[in-house]
Amino acid sequence: MVRKGPIRAPDNIRSTVRWDYQPDICKDYKETGFCGFGDSCKFMHDRSDYKQGWQLELEIANNTYGDEDPSKYEISSDEDNLPFKCFICRDSFKDPVKTKCDHYFCEKCALDNYKKSARCYVCGVQTSGFFKPAKELIARLAAEDQKEEKEESDEE
């Protein structure tokens, strides 16, 4: 038997949908990223931000509306969790080395610390004198130097 038209809904199931067209946003979470109520907060935890009307009008007036800069969306190298300075001397790395416990030091600082103690300066794990060259950190430092040189040459 072939029926045409809409199918009748079952009598034993009732579904309702509620649309919230004006969601209440938690002010504390939006401003600080922290809410004292935690998961029991009745407001929505959202930190997104939209452009105001005057900002859109300014972009249209400057003919920059819709122009996208892909570098805005690039994820910086902060995700690799490589430190920027030596934990011992608190200065930029000079010949960085890596321990077994994945901590980074200047070669001189690591060897000086090893003379005092065979343990890692940061976490206290036994290093046994093994220090590997920190290849990924050396590569990042070289890339940063090239970027700085390029910016300096562009300014001139």
42-85: pLDDT as tens digits: 999 988 888 888 888 998 898 888 777 777 667 665 556 778 88
Q: What is the rounded distance in angstroms from the CA atom of residue 146 to the CA atom of residue 136?
A: 15
Report the distance separating Cα 97 and Cα 133, nearest Å.
4
Stated pTM of the model:
0.48
User: In sequence order, what E strands does 78-151 have?
Assistant: 96-98, 104-106, 132-133
> Mean pLDDT over residues 28-52, rounded?
87
Higher pLDDT among residues 99 and 66, named by residue: 99
Please report, as a single letter, which amino acid is at residue 122: V
Cβ contacts of 63 within 8 Å, gap of 6 or more: none
